[in-house]
Structure 1
Amino acid sequence: MKIKNFLLFSILLSFVLVACINAAIIFFMYNTLEKVNINALLLFSGILFILLSIILNSGINNYINYRIDKIYNQVNSLKKRRISRINVNADEFDFLARDILKYSYKKKREISKLNYRENYRRDFLGNVAHELKTPLFTVQGYLLTLIEGAAENREIREKYLKRANLAIERLSEIVSDLDLITKLETNGLKLKMDTFNILKVIQKVFDLLEMQAKKKNIKLTLDKFYDIPEFVLADETKMEQVLINLVMNSIKYGKVGGTTIVSVDYEDEDKLIVKVTDNGEGVAEADVPRLFERFYRVDKSRSRDQGGSGLGLAIVKHIIEAHEQTIDVTSTVGQGSTFYFTLEKA
């Protein structure tokens, strides 16, 4: 039976104890042939009942509070804050249960986050080691071959030195991107906000990547002719880097003879939305949510052959979020992908 109020419990217990004491007194006086004074017995019973009720209620409250304080002291040592002492009744016990359950749930969530971060850290370190190991071993292999005598052959020497230089460039690119993404994550990279024409930046990116696109016969184009400029408020250098990474990504994973189309449209009266669309191999639905993770590759062996540090999309996401804007992607296997992000209108 659930006791709703400890005062009621104290009264009932006092009544039972007084009844037992009275029964014992009457029984004793009956055996000793003493006359029972009813008035005195009633007065004694009343006084005893009141005293027992007060003592029992106070004792139960003190004991329960003592036990609860011990529980809260243990919880407080972890919560780093004090919880006020409570007056004991069933409602406060419900409060205690809810508070401890809430605290337990919070700690479970913290443990889950710590486990996730630990797994993320382990994966990140493993990925960094793997990405650095490949170009390092490549350079080491070519240099050892040259040291063992291949350097005497001029043709082999030049070929191996060029390959070693390419591996060092890849290594330098990985280190540079790691440094950049670390600065982005720690707010160490400051944005230089300015007003500029985003269409002009897109055309500049097309000019920079024209040679890479021609190697796969990929056409870089805008979705339409824009007769007026589209001014935005952002860091122009960082936006150029975002577009370079997205367009380069579309070239790497685009099909030979394909197209990369960039469009600029109105998200609302305060924002523009920039889309980079290709008709390449696309990405499976299960891989889409992880595309912006550091070093994540859909097809690890093939992606590594394409070059790059594996940090491009992660850097893009950090730059866009540093502008307090959003970026997302839609993709269909065999049909291509569309990366789109918002920018503040100037």
Structure 2
Amino acid sequence: MEISKLLYDSLPLTRVGFLPKTEEVIFAQDYSCFASMLEEYISYGVARIYMPNSAPEVSSIDEMPKILKCRVKLFDDSYEIDASHRILHGLRKEFGVVFTEDGIQLKFKSKSDRDIRSPMVELHSLVRKLAIGFNHSLQVDIELEKSIELLRFMRGKVLDGQTRVILAQLEAVLGTYSAVNFDAPSLVNRTKPSDTILMFDRLINDETYLEYSHNIARLSDPLSRNDALMHIRLLGGKIRKFEPLSAVWNYVAKVISVSAAGIPVPDTGLIASLVKNRPLPSIIDLTQARSKAFCNWSNTNKVETPLDSKGNPVVGGEVQWMSPSLGTKMINPQRDDVVSINGRKLRDALSKLLDKED
């Protein structure tokens, strides 16, 4: 039975605090916000989270809570990376953009147009996500309208005819999508992060939830879409009545973007290399979901001690923690959970920031 599968997108936050007595500044990696993101995953019937081998988090997957780690599946995305590189080769060539030695980061000339730097990075990410969605039958997190605007913007910048055609065809693919609305079961905001992780583990072993997940996956097929929506409504009601969990559920409107019926992928060499005879993937815009997850987490956890990847407090003592901001993702190649710095100047700077927040 096909189930709803989602491309992984982590949401760890950097927490900063200090010990007043020793003037020691603490930087900690806080995983407690990801549990709030799980609430959104549950609404979309996600039963398996897929993480590409190219993701930076692969190196720290062993640090995830065991109950969550077993639900994350690693997969090789080298084909999709190569396909996105080939498709956008002409674009990079026109603007003199190359890859760094690791073949991952884009390297721009010092005099290159700064207006195209961020869009260029976003475009490579977009094409890679689409390729992954096509070839692995995954729901992918894409801002549809923003992505269409991105393709139009870059098409207006580029002069090469073939590249313009490719960008136009990618825009045409996204243009086939339309929104499907449905009411989904959703956990209320007061649910604790640890309870949410346990809830997720119990649900993906529950037959009703797996059937709900199956029908979410069926939305990508135009022929089964109406029948899937009917089952989603019925199963959503059953999930809310699941006896041990009924007190923490609510209904929330959800949107998933799916391709219209009978519209083929453009039949050209480069665009065809993006797919392997797979149907168009479902698209979920998790921008608001991430903001909601952060707000829910912030309202209940922002003054608490950060949690490590195992759900335990990262440090003890009388650490005064700053309130974090959305978008401050931790990038830590050392895989350390806590970094401390002893310095009066940095402590004073943090104190001033705290005063501004107050």
Shorter-chain TM-score range? under 0.3
Higher fraction of strand: 2
So what's the TM-score if we normalise by structure 2?
Answer: 0.21
- Which protein is bigger by CA-based radius of gyration? 1
TM-score in terms of structure 1 length:
0.22
Relative contact order, CA 8 A, sep 6+: which one is greater?
Answer: 2
More helix by share: 1
